[in-house]
Amino acid sequence: MQKLQKNQFALALVGFTFSWNFFPPNMMASFFPDAQSYSSANELLLALTALLFLAAFLIRRPAAHFIDHHRFGSLCLTLSGIGGYGLMLTGLAEKAPSLLLASTLLLSLSYVALMLCWAVALARLDMHQTMLLLFSSSIGYALLTLGNFLPMTGQRLICGLSTALSGVCWYCLRVNRSKQSPSYSFDLSALAHAPFALLGLLAVLLIGGRMMTGLFFNLSNSISFGELFVRCACIAAVMSFCIASLARGVSVEQGYRNAWIPAAGLFLLGNMMAIGLQSPASAIGMSMAHGALNCFEVIFYLVMLQFVKNDRVSPVMVMGLGMILLKVLPIAMQRIVFPQLMMLFGLSSTDVVPAVILMTMVMVVSVLTFANHRATITEPGASSSANESASSGNPTAGRSDFGEACKTLADSSGLSARETEIMILLAQGNSQKHISEVLYLALGTVQWYAKTIYRKLGVHSKQELINLVNAQETAQRTP
């Protein structure tokens, strides 16, 4: 994996910060004074974005090849959004359905192309640097959202140029492909070991959370500067904590925890404040919940990119599906589906309370599940299951250098705590079925871990792993 120099990282940070901007509804509404026209534009924009991400998934190999070998063409696609905004500024898009379709298609095409270009670039970077880039850019995006209180000309300028500026930064970054890992897998079977449980959980949180915030903000019809400032402050606080943790050299798993736990806490606290929707504190609480949702979106990117890096899966394939599920669908629910349901059934602010309570319960269960997962992960060398196996007639029992050899190999290969634990058990000769029973993991999960461990250590079987550990033991005993 490549590591960016300071000037390259600064360029990537600026570029990725502007990539977060996803057609703010208040700015889009300014192009369409007529409510029906705005609704049609919104629906077209989201539908076309979903279709283009799906198309990228279906033609993933040619799409990845195009991004890698036709960089200027990819840049032109990201710049196409300027044409879409230009059509809207003329006012013709509101009057002619064909021009409305053309403008929204250009906007969608530019956004999809931009996100795929960044996915390919980030997949080739060092994971810790990728995490730092995501955490830092989300703070920058939070500050950009304060531009919603600029005059409409300023809002249009920021939104209209965001995709173009981000695309230019990506083009100038020029990640060196010669330093990258082997080619990615485009086979659908590569998705079999994706972290579906965590991605599914994030999908539930993002869809449900955006449902709540969408209902609330549509009921209030406006967001004050104070509410938006609270949202930005929450994002900045969580992400700053994560950046400070990275500076201390935390592992990737610890990075997940440091992003997840504060965001979950903010979501719960915000929902508790929002339960009393008639009180002044309710708006602040919902703003806190909205900020937490942005933090969960960062975690979503991290999960996808780590899966891409670990299993060498095509970033175009993963991003194409992921963005539909965790970006377009939640926003469609927030902006279109639930506001329409609210109008259809005549919902009031008190009707939102059950939804808030339900999502709070989902979050409580999610936090407990995550905490339980963390509790099952032990540090290298502290695995009780490994020690028990070693003391029950295992050939490695009594070999003081065995644990040291395993730890050395784990550190040099960048294995996580869980991967190290499973590596020790494999090196002791245990079968994957036995390991799944000892660690209370699904057999498929253990098989996925074993595959990752073998790849990181450069071996192809359990016997080769055992031989590697034995060789490391011998090397340590040699003066």
- Is 222 within the bounds of a domain? yes
Domain boundary residue, one of 327, 345, 375: 375
Q: Are residues 224 and 365 in the same domain?
A: yes
Least confident of 27-36, 54-63, 122-131, 168-177: 27-36
Q: Are residues 186 and 255 in the same domain?
A: yes
Domain boundary residue, one of 375, 394, 409: 375
The pLDDT tens digits of the residues spanning 135-189 come to 999 999 998 888 777 887 888 888 888 999 999 999 998 775 544 444 788 888 7
Q: Are residues 332 and 471 in the same domain?
A: no
CATH number of the structural domain spanning residue 185: 1.20.1250.20
Handedness of CA 438, 443, 448, 452 (dihedral sign): positive
**Closest listed residue to residue 104, CA positions, set 92, 93, 116:** 93
What percent of the chain shows pLDDT beyond 90?
27
| Local structure of 2: helix, strand or coil | strand
Q: Are residues 165 and 297 in the same domain?
A: yes
If one compares 346 and 468, the residue with the highest pLDDT of the two is: 468
CA Rg value for the chain: 24
Q: Are residues 345 and 407 in the same domain?
A: no
Longest distance between any two alpha carbons in the chain, whole Å: 83
**Contact at 8 Å (CB) between 125 and 175?**
yes
The pLDDT tens digits of the residues spanning 267-286 come to 888 878 877 666 677 788 88
Q: Provide φ and ψ at 478, rounded to 5°.
A: -75, 125
**Closest listed residue to residue 216, CA positions, set 138, 273, 145:** 273
Q: Are residues 391 and 331 in the same domain?
A: no
Q: What is the C-alpha to C-alpha distance for residues 175 and 239, in angstroms, rounded to an integer?
A: 25
The pLDDT tens digits of the residues spanning 183-241 come to 788 888 778 777 777 777 788 778 877 777 766 665 555 677 888 889 999 999 999 99
**Contact at 8 Å (CB) between 328 and 108?**
no
- Is 1 within the bounds of a domain? no
Q: What is the C-alpha to C-alpha distance for residues 300 and 109, in angstroms, rounded to an integer?
A: 22
- Amino acid 146 reads L
**Contact at 8 Å (CB) between 237 and 270?**
no
| Local structure of 313: helix, strand or coil | strand
Query: What confidence score (pLDDT) does residue 380 get?
Result: 38
Query: What confidence score (pLDDT) does residue 375 get?
Result: 45
The pLDDT tens digits of the residues spanning 9-49 come to 999 999 999 999 887 776 777 787 777 777 888 889 999 99
Query: What confidence score (pLDDT) does residue 180 get?
Result: 46
DSSP H stretches of helix in 174-280: 196-220, 225-247, 252-274
- Is 271 within the bounds of a domain? yes
Neighbours of 3 (CB within 10 A): 11
CATH number of the structural domain spanning residue 415: 3.40.50.2300
pLDDT bin (cut points 50, 70, 90) of residue 368 is: low
What percent of the chain shows pLDDT beyond 70?
84
Length of the chain: 479
Q: Are residues 221 and 115 in the same domain?
A: yes
The conformation of residue 461, written as its DSSP 8-state character, comes to S
- Amino acid 456 reads K
**Closest listed residue to residue 63, CA positions, set 125, 112, 2:** 112
pLDDT at 72 over 90: yes
Query: What confidence score (pLDDT) does residue 3 get?
Result: 82
**Contact at 8 Å (CB) between 127 and 309?**
yes
Query: What confidence score (pLDDT) does residue 369 get?
Result: 62
- Is 402 within the bounds of a domain? yes
Average pLDDT in the chain: 81
If one compares 59 and 396, the residue with the highest pLDDT of the two is: 59
Q: Are residues 354 and 441 in the same domain?
A: no
Q: Are residues 390 and 281 in the same domain?
A: no
For 391, the domain range is: 384-477
For the chain, the domain total comes to 2
- Is 33 within the bounds of a domain? yes
pLDDT at 382 over 70: no
- Where are any strands of DSSP class E within 311-371? none
| Local structure of 125: helix, strand or coil | strand
If one compares 191 and 400, the residue with the highest pLDDT of the two is: 191
Domain boundary residue, one of 375, 400, 420: 375
The pLDDT tens digits of the residues spanning 401-455 come to 788 888 889 888 888 878 888 899 898 888 888 887 777 666 777 888 898 899 8
Q: What is the C-alpha to C-alpha distance for residues 203 and 330, in angstroms, rounded to an integer?
A: 8
